């Protein structure tokens, strides 16, 4: 199986040993507390689940700036984005203390992790602006990722963490949430050697379904892991339970048996386009995938990124040899009326726009909200029904 990033074995930060877990939970109740931002809580979950391998906790400012500027820590470990525990103020504890990190996304704010504090640093406006611009390629406060990053505060609390639970993801999505450890184990159980991973924060229509099949055929994969984001999205995005139901229905009816795994992970979307695409690739290597599909405007929002910037960053900015996972570059896919099948638009140079069935996201949402199913060439009818039920419930 493909090695995780940065080490021979995956090193998740969740405390699996029962006795240690119980002892740490008791200790945590006696420690000073820090209520995490939602972004930092998502980072803690990802650290616990092994997706952030080989990190051992939250970065200090020097490492965060280095990752923002060069995509490597000060020790030379490749990591495409800063992983910070930012807060407005750090009171009641000092460097060297152990603190209980509390979950902002669960009632009563239970302890999510215990951190050993190695540094407490004020982040200057200039440093925040630099990191924002490097990661998001903009400082526009209207960008949802920029807004979330800069709303957390400007005090960085760094140091290693030990994770006690996976927030609401495990309880609310028991059939879908999987750690990188669990996915690696399931891959071994399937006996898969080549694995394609597909990232989504949206329901999957025909084009997405066929793209997964094209990638599997193109690389000779044994299976496909559909890996959906379960964390916080921007307003207007479809809730995770609805996405989950529609994707499961599609896989059940339209993929060969035992060829696809439906999984999810707990993380707040950054909407950072190219940088987030690299981070997503790192996640998938850590969970055991050998290939990762990156399509048009991957992890983008609005008009902040070029259509294929998330592909070219791997050739132009990512240092050679940084990751072992291979990228499957995909073009925009659409149903060809000429060929009666879904195609990548770059592969059919004789087509005009009128030869495709193309629907904007706005048009699809309006149709679904009106109880009208999109054409079957665009969306499987069983998937469309689930989405129609959701949109009509909003009226």
Active site amino acids: 201-202
Strand duo 223-229 + 260-265: pairing: parallel
Q: What angle do CA 60, 61, 66 make, to 5 degrees?
A: 105
Q: What angle do CA 382, 238, 53 make, to 5 degrees?
A: 110
SS3 169: helix
Is residue 54 reached through a cis peptide bond, with omega within 30 degrees of 0 on the bond before it?
A: yes
Which 8-state DSSP code applies to residue 347?
Answer: G
Give exposure, 181-218, as e/b (b: 16+ Cβ within 10 Å): bebbebbeeeebeebbbbbbbebbbbbbbbbbbbbbee
SS3 274: helix
Cβ–Cβ under 8 Å, residues 325 and 292: yes
Residue 197 region by backbone torsions, left for phi larger than 0, else alpha for psi between -120 and 50, else beta = beta
Which distant-in-sequence residues (6+ apart) come within 8 Å of 382 by Cβ?
249, 250, 253
DSSP H/E element including 224: strand 223-229
SS3 346: helix
Ordered strands of the 260-265 beta sheet: 260-265, 223-229, 195-200, 291-294, 326-329
SS3 131: helix
φ, ψ of residue 345 to 5 degrees: the values are -65, -30
Whole-number Å distance between alpha carbons of 378 and 125: 46
């Amino acid at each position: 199986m493909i090695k995780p990033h940065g080490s021979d074995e995956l090193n998740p930060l969740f405390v699996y040993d029962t006795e240690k877990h119980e002892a740490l939970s008791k200790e945590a109740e006696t420690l000073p507390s820090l209520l995490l931002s939602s972004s930092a809580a998502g980072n803690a979950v990802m650290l616990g689940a092994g997706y952030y391998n080989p990190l051992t906790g939250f970065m200090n400012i020097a490492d965060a700036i280095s990752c923002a500027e060069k995509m490597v820590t000060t020790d030379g470990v490749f990591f495409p984005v800063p992983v910070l525990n930012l807060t407005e103020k750090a009171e009641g504890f000092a460097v060297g203390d152990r603190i209980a990190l509390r979950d902002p996304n669960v009632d009563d704010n239970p302890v999510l992790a215990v951190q050993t504090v190695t540094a407490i640093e004020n982040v200057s406006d200039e440093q925040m602006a630099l990191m924002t611009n490097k990661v998001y390629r903009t400082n526009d406060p209207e960008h949802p990722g920029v807004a979330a990053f800069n709303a957390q505060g400007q005090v960085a609390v760094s140091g290693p963490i030990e994770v006690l639970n996976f927030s609401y993801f495990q309880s609310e999505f028991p059939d879908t949430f999987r750690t990188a450890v669990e996915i690696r184990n399931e891959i071994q159980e399937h006996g898969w050697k080549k694995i394609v991973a597909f990232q989504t924060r949206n329901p999957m229509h025909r084009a997405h379904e066929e793209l997964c099949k094209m990638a599997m055929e193109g690389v000779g994969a044994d299976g496909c892991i559909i890996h959906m984001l379960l964390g916080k999205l921007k307003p207007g995005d479809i809730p995770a339970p609805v996405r989950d139901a529609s994707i499961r229905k599609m896989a059940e009816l339209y993929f060969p048996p035992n060829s696809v795994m439906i999984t999810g992970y707990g993380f707040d979307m950054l909407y950072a386009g190219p940088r987030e695409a690299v981070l997503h690739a790192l996640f998938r290597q850590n969970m055991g995938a050998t290939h990762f599909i990156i399509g048009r405007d991957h992890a983008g929002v609005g008009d902040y990124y070029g259509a294929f910037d998330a592909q070219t960053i791997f050739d132009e900015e990512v240092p050679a040899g940084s990751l072992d996972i291979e990228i499957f570059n995909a073009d925009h896919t659409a149903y060809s009326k000429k060929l009666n099948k879904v195609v990548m638009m770059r592969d059919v140079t004789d087509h005009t726009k009128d030869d495709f069935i193309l629907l904007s996201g706005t048009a699809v949402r309006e149709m679904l909200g009106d109880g009208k199913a999109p054409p079957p060439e665009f969306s499987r009818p069983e998937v469309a029904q689930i989405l129609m039920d959701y949109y009509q419930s909003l009226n």
